[in-house]
Amino acid sequence: MNPYLKAKRDQFEALRASTEEIQNRAATEKRDLDDAELAAVKGQAEKMRSLGEEIQILTDQENRAADVAELAAKLDERTEKRESDAQARDRDPGHYRSESEGGRWSFFGDMYKAKFNGDAEAKVRLEQHARALDTGGEGVGLVPPRWLTEEYQTLLRQGRDLADKVRRIPLGSDPRPITIPKQTAGTDTEVNEQTAENDPTDWDDAFDSDVDTVTPKPTRGGQVFSRQMLDMASPAIDQLIFGDLIAAYNAKIETKVGSAIVTAAGAAVTTFATEAAFSTDADAFDAIIDAGMAVWAARKLPADLLVMRIRRYGSLKKLRDADNRPLLPPNTNGMMAVNVNGVGTIQTPGMIEGLALAVTDGIGTTAYPESMIAQRASDVLLFEGNQFRFNDPYTEGPESVRVAIWAYTAVYVRYAGSSGKAVAITAAS
């Protein structure tokens, strides 16, 4: 099976299992879904709908490709393969495959040749490619070959570890501000035990509400490259240019989510003056427990995610007791699947005190103070629009071409100060 299609089916199954688990829990407890559970089910249902549509398209394409391959096998090897000019989106003609798959043509190169050189063959290849792919989710303009967004290798950048462990709400291409209502006051003082018979009930107007407004902003970037690079017509050029833009975009989204979580957590529950103080006996693990319990006490629901830098995770793995035994048991199974409330099944390198690890350098610099955050993942909302916008290249002259990516993004942390609590280390020694 196509590995990308398999991954999408696995994602769909994980979402389905998570949704079923939430409903089964409510059924077992003989109650309705609470607000958080209902929001989680709705969010996962939307993700399942989008995934289902993509899986259907990919499955149809796989089936068609298999049928075509079976027919092609029956032809004489001397029969010349002809390109179809059918108007239906029937199959990927395979013009823009990766170099390892025998690709001959550059996607960006054909874009340039078709627009500025009037290359008729390049236009035909682009038209056949566009007909074969679904353009509903990629925005306006030419659609890149699928392998460009899936099989890239880039510089060493922080990936989307944390950003993929919080709730993601698709924006499509709609940049309008999002209004999120919230309750600011309740009837706690109005509900009391009656002191004496016929004492009147309080009828004060104690309930109050407000809204927070989240304004998505563009996260975008572009690349100028030379016509000489295109004229070499190597598919590897596409992979290098586009893969670099995607990796840079993902690193910025990771930092955006991490910064929002750190800011919302506010002052640390526990602060260690130095690394040496942090590394004394089991103090570090006590601090993690304290942060998790502080979330539970303030949010009235437990934290389920522990966010830290890569270096911090390494320092925890080094902690030993008086007999030189590791305080953090080694994880011998590699990445493990963990269900996080409101998010679904995530991959994590391990658990600490019941919290799934999100190990990322996207929560700040290497300078002190450095934080670990115990966080309720479902309270972190990542609003993200369609990630890629491909238009005909804008020329800066006959020697240069420009391409770009663009997406509207925003991060909102619900119950700021309650849904996440920090542990901080303020100095190296």
Residues 311-370: tens digit of each pLDDT: 898 888 888 877 888 878 776 566 778 888 888 888 888 888 889 999 998 887 667 888
Residue whose structure tokens are 């420009």: 402
What is the pLDDT at residue 86?
35
Confidence at residue 98, expressed as pLDDT on a 0 to 100 scale: 60
- What sign results for the dihedral spanned by CA atoms 115, 139, 128, 98? positive
Which is nearest to 280 in space by CA: 216, 327, 245? Answer: 327
Contact 223, 244 (CB under 8 A): yes
Residue pair 137/149 in contact (Cβ under 8 Å)? The answer is: no
Q: Which domain holds residue 244?
A: 150-184+208-429
Of 38-47, 160-169, 396-405, minimum mean pLDDT range: 396-405
Question: Residue 286 domain-assigned?
Answer: yes
Kindly give the residue spans of alpha helices, DSSP state H, lying in 133-177. Answer: 146-150
Q: Does residue 398 sit within a domain?
A: yes
Evaluate if pTM is beyond 0.75. Answer: no
Q: Do the domain assignments include residue 121?
A: no
**Residue-by-residue DSSP string for 179-234:** EEEEEEE-STTT----SSTTPPPP-----EEEEEEE--EEEEEEEEEEHHHHHT--
pLDDT of residue 300 exceeding 80, the answer is yes
Out of 159-173, 239-253, 386-400, 409-423, least confident range: 386-400
* Residue at 36 is within a domain: no
Question: 74 in a domain, yes or no?
Answer: no
The pLDDT > 70 percentage for the chain reads 73
Identify whether 112 is part of a domain. Answer: no
User: Is 232 domain-assigned?
Assistant: yes
**pLDDT higher than threshold 80 for residue 79:** no
For residue 145, what pLDDT band results from cuts at 50, 70 and 90? Answer: low
Q: Tokens standing for 167?
A: 């709730």
Distances (CA, A) of 343 to 11, 17, 45, 324, 418: 12, 12, 11, 37, 19
Q: Residue 265 sits in a domain of what CATH number?
A: 3.90.1690
206 band by pLDDT with thresholds 50, 70 and 90 = confident
**Is 55 within a domain?**
no
Q: Name the domain count of the chain.
A: 1
In this predicted model, what pLDDT tens digit does every residue of 81-122 receive, in sequence order? Answer: 434 343 333 455 667 766 566 666 777 667 767 765 677 887
9 versus 86: which is more confidently predicted? 9
